[in-house]
Structure 1
Amino acid sequence: MLTGLAKWWLERKAVSFTSSWVEAIFAGAKANSGVQVSTNSALQQTAMLRAIMVKADISQIPLVLRRRQGKGAVDAADHYLYDMMLHQPNGWMDGVEWVRTTIMHFAATGQAISYRNIDRRGRIRELIPIRPECAAIDVNTMMEMEYTLQLENAHQVKCGRDQVFHFRGPSWDGFRGLDPVALGREALGLAQATEKSQAQLHQNGVRANGLFKLAGKPPQEEKDRVREMIAATYTGANAGRPILASDALSFEPLTMKGSEAETIQTRGFQIEEIARLQGVFTIMLGHAGDQSPTFASAEAFFGAHVRYTYQPLIRAFLAALNTQLLTREERAEGLHFEMDTSELLRGSLRDRAEYYKAAIGNASQPGWLTPNEIRIDDEWNEDPSPRMNQVQFPMTMRDAGEPPPPTTPPSPHAGA
């Protein structure tokens, strides 16, 4: 059954979206734990929200349009998409905000859609993110994708594949990304149920950690008086105050029940389930489990996080950008988008100094970087000296095919 919010949304928007589709966003479906799980309720789970934000943190890496030049590449600053995607994809968002919003939609619902505002020359003027609940995807009889978009100004737009940027996740039908909330409904539902049970346990501001006993068989009036005294003295803001007992009133502490301890453990397990659902390491969600990471293991975890979470996501994102925002001719010219993750893997100053020392070469080992390339890598200006653009080689080495240096004949008087 649709919630009041979903009914209001349907009536206000007056669009052709099916009620079952809107229900998946707002009301969701009931899990075996007995709670309704929807995209909206999933975002209220701190572990799920944090996992989504962790993925969206790729927005800290600049999205740059580059042009291949020889074996390397240079910034394509002369192309109109360079400034637009790096700084301002639309009139109210900067590049970081657009990437972050796009990845949040993608991680939460399995796909992200932006409307392409195109000018008379056929160029993209703006990329306008569409909320997942405001986009419907269909496939017509010609196997062409059709989109029905509800813009923030209440205008409805029906458009084709060439009028949107559609970044979808793993797909079963090849058109729509799989919805992680629908697939992980049971894990999210159990997380919601355990959180709700814990909240109800503390709802009155006091935990049932002890038993008050009255001596003898007091009348009901005395029981009511003592109950009101306890409620006024030891609950709410007074919870945790020292308990005073007399001969007529005693207090017996209660130990934690096994079921309560199991509930706390279950909450930890559900964080791991949500991390597994989103494909991130639990340490990135602030949950180390039974193992407290050391500096060395934390660094290894973060390196694995970049390689196994960020890089596959960035590769898929760049593939979508290259194929949807660039024409075939532009790609043939070597234009492509880049997000350099090497900055995330940079070590300490000491580690970088050791790497640069080996890269520049020494008396027994040839180098592979020039001093100016190292300066550029550290965002320093180039040194104009010609020697700063030369790779260093040991004095004993020479290029293949180069004749050996002339030798000085021995003196006829040598050894005399």
Structure 2
Amino acid sequence: MGLMKFVRGIGRRGNASGARSQTFDLSNMSGDDIREFIRMGGGMDTASGVSITDARAMRVAAAWRCVNIISGTIASMPTDIIKRESETVRRPAVGHPLRRVMTVKPNPWQTPAEYKRLMQGHVLMRGNAYSRIVRSGKDVVALLPMNPDRTVAEQNSDMTMRYRYSRPDGTTITLSQKDVFHLRGMSLDGITGMSVLSNMREALGLSIQTETAGASMFKNGVLAGGAYKHPGALSDKAYERLKSSLADKSGAEKSGEWLILEEGMDVASVVLSAQDAQFLETRDFQRYDIAMFFGVPPHMIGATDKQTSWGSGIEAQGIGFVTYTLSDWFAIWEQAIKRDLMPMDEWENLDFKFFPQGLLRGDTKARKEFYQSALQWGWMNPNEVRSLEDMNPRDGGEKYYDPPNTAGNQNKDTGDDNPQTPDDQRIQD
């Protein structure tokens, strides 16, 4: 079957019952879009008439920024494998094979940041991210990302999972649950995550169509800053003098200079029409709509002209982003890694952890206040603070300070096991 016949076939795709056909417009697609359209079996049609593909979605600025900022934050966040030696003692699991995979080299061609960014991008757009687990004995030695569009997750009768993966060469393999690391987004069946791309296709379609309409307006429309009105017909000499005068006044260095108008001419400004203003409002609304799907505060994608329910200030919105969006992804990563990559006999004493304190790297004032509070109230010592700043320990830095205005603090200052209170001293005097 020829390529165009195949394209026409999926371009007039019917529903499951075959009762109604759906027509997709391929005439305004680039070559990459058509290949993506075919790969997805016809794309995702929208009421706005746009077929949504990964490539098209990521050309929407708001969608690109949302995916990039969440994936980038997850990728850059400090992580580690933590071993619980007791109920109160936790230390980095130095020497554990999984620690090397997650913090040094997940596979032969990716860094940990590149791997986490890719996996987070997959789960954001597709609802699922998969990696094939490579083991040496019982130890995980590598994680090989799998394309979610070529992976089918299914549940066996014994409630375990199996995964059918189509390799790039066209062959298909079936992998058991122990061979696949699966990040699952929001799910309604507990088996596969819901695709954000599929659920926000209408918002993306409207955004793409308004962008196309705006580009067409700038290409074919007339955009003028003002107009000169004449009560009659402007003579040729007056026209030439006016044209020459306008040319002489152009440029930033001539801004603010006055024009001499002839033969009773007047100046009128050209204001934005109600239709144009509504068009711009539609484009602006789409940014907020897309940000809502991803749970990203509007100010992080450049939308700062409206108050939102995230809070009245940028700081409150940033806290909301960590609390309500990033914390959810932290839990998904941490628990999926424990389920798929750690042996069951290590579940009780081994954890994979994100350290959100890394978000304070760019805020010197916030870091200072955080460390000051930690030292003052005795839940960190100076060497622990120095280690977070990549500084070597110092002598005596293992000492914890007692919180101020406590009995312990008075003991340390006086060296007396039974310090006297001011009232006791007055009685003796």
Aligned residue number for residue 69 of structure 2: 54
1:391 paired with 2:398, answer: no
1:326 paired with 2:335, answer: no
Q: Secondary structure at the match of 1:65?
A: strand
How far apart, in 1, do the equivalents of 2:154 and 2:420 lie?
77
Aligned residue number for residue 19 of structure 2: none
Structure 1 stretch displaced more, 41-50 or 198-207: 198-207
Q: 1:344/1:358 Cα in 2 relative to 1: closer, same or farther (>3 Å)? A: closer
How far apart, in 1, do the equivalents of 2:227 and 2:419 lie?
97
How far apart, in 2, do the equivalents of 1:318 and 1:159 lie?
22
CA positional deviation for 1:110: 0.9
Equivalent positions of 1:7-406 (< 5 A) are 22-23=40-41, 27-31=43-47, 33-56=48-71, 57-70=73-86, 71-119=88-136, 121-140=137-156, 143-152=159-168, 155-204=171-220, 206-207=222-223, 254-290=270-306, 297-332=313-348, 334-345=349-360, 348-361=363-376, 367-385=378-396, 388-392=398-402, 393-395=408-410, 404=418
Deviations 1:87-120 (A, max 9, x none): 111110010000000001111111111112334x
How far apart, in 1, do the equivalents of 2:95 and 2:201 lie?
47
CA positional deviation for 1:144: 4.2
Q: Please say if residues 272 and 282 of structure 1, whose CA atoms lie closer than 8 Å, have aligned partners that are also in contact.
A: yes
Q: Please say if residues 115 and 127 of structure 1, whose CA atoms lie closer than 8 Å, have aligned partners that are also in contact.
A: yes
TM-score of the two chains, using structure 2 as the length reference:
0.72
Q: Report percent identity of matched pairs.
A: 27
How far apart, in 2, do the equivalents of 1:251 and 1:374 lie?
67
Letter in 1 for 2:180: V
Letter in 1 for 2:173: V
Q: Secondary structure at the match of 1:380?
A: coil
Q: 1:390/1:105 Cα in 2 relative to 1: closer, same or farther (>3 Å)? A: closer
Letter in 1 for 2:282: T
How far apart, in 2, do the equivalents of 1:254 and 1:347 lie?
45
Q: Secondary structure at the match of 1:290?
A: coil
Q: Please say if residues 39 and 109 of structure 1, whose CA atoms lie closer than 8 Å, have aligned partners that are also in contact.
A: no
How far apart, in 2, do the equivalents of 1:279 and 1:98 lie?
22
Q: Secondary structure at the match of 1:107?
A: helix
CA positional deviation for 1:329: 0.6
CA positional deviation for 1:78: 1.2
Q: 1:389/1:41 Cα in 2 relative to 1: closer, same or farther (>3 Å)? A: same
How far apart, in 2, do the equivalents of 1:356 and 1:125 lie?
36
Aligned residue number for residue 6 of structure 2: none
Q: Please say if residues 126 and 148 of structure 2, whose CA atoms lie closer than 8 Å, have aligned partners that are also in contact.
A: yes
Letter in 2 for 1:100: R
Letter in 2 for 1:270: Q
CA positional deviation for 1:315: 1.3
Q: Please say if residues 146 and 160 of structure 1, whose CA atoms lie closer than 8 Å, have aligned partners that are also in contact.
A: yes
How far apart, in 2, do the equivalents of 1:201 and 1:5 lie?
25
Q: 1:382/1:206 Cα in 2 relative to 1: closer, same or farther (>3 Å)? A: same
How far apart, in 2, do the equivalents of 1:340 and 1:96 lie?
14
Q: Secondary structure at the match of 1:395?
A: helix
Unaligned runs of 5+ in 2: 1-9, 12-25, 233-246, 248-260, 403-407, 422-427
CA positional deviation for 1:359: 4.2
Q: Please say if residues 209 and 256 of structure 1, whose CA atoms lie closer than 8 Å, have aligned partners that are also in contact.
A: no
Q: Please say if residues 29 and 38 of structure 1, whose CA atoms lie closer than 8 Å, have aligned partners that are also in contact.
A: no
CA positional deviation for 1:348: 4.8
Letter in 2 for 1:99: K
CA positional deviation for 1:160: 2.0
How far apart, in 1, do the equivalents of 2:197 and 2:418 lie?
70
Letter in 2 for 1:23: G
Unaligned runs of 5+ in 1: 11-18, 217-233, 235-244, 408-413
CA positional deviation for 1:278: 0.8
Structure 1 stretch displaced more, 374-383 or 87-96: 374-383
Structure 1 stretch displaced more, 84-93 or 345-354: 345-354
Q: 1:168/1:396 Cα in 2 relative to 1: closer, same or farther (>3 Å)? A: same
CA positional deviation for 1:383: 2.6
How far apart, in 1, do the equivalents of 2:94 and 2:143 lie?
19
CA positional deviation for 1:268: 0.7
Q: Give the number of equivalent residue pairs.
A: 363
How far apart, in 2, do the equivalents of 1:170 and 1:349 lie?
35
CA positional deviation for 1:370: 3.3
How far apart, in 2, do the equivalents of 1:38 and 1:325 lie?
32
Q: Please say if residues 171 and 177 of structure 1, whose CA atoms lie closer than 8 Å, have aligned partners that are also in contact.
A: yes
Q: 1:43/1:354 Cα in 2 relative to 1: closer, same or farther (>3 Å)? A: closer
